[in-house]
Amino acid sequence: MILSIESQPAPLHIDEDGVARIGRTRVTLETVIAAFKNGASAEEIAERYDALDLAEIYAVIGYYLSHKSEVDAYVAECARHAAEVRGDNEARVTVTDVRERLLKRRRV
């Protein structure tokens, strides 16, 4: 029997919003990398995200380990953007505003 060795691309795609997602799922690259960095095994990640199969998770972890600086830069940029959006939302809508709207709905 002859073993066929072939390289396969990482199961990643960039969606219309510029977010890296795994396979045909909505699970993001940064979600899996964060779990991996926090000590989760590929099997534990598969249990948390049943839309992913184990082979995809191992491929993504392998991609991360081979492209650590690029992926870390991407994840840092995602975190920076999320913090910016969060700050904009907090500046635009205060807790008092939300509370008042909820109380007003309750009265109706």
- What 3-state class would DSSP assign to 26? coil
CATH class of 12-107: mainly alpha
Q: Locate the domains of the chain by residue range.
A: 12-107
| Residues 59 and 8: beta-carbon distance below 8 Å | yes
Q: What is the dihedral of CA 34, 40, 44, 47, to 10 degrees?
A: -20
Residue 54 neighbours by CB under 8 Å, 6+ apart: 42, 43, 46
Q: How far is CA 98 from the centre of its chain?
A: 28
| Residues 11 and 4: beta-carbon distance below 8 Å | no
> What pLDDT, in 10s, does the model give residues 19-29?
999 999 999 99
> What pLDDT, in 10s, does the model give residues 50-96?
999 999 999 999 999 999 999 999 999 999 999 998 888 778 877 77
pTM of the predicted protein model: 0.79
Residue with token string 């008092």: 96
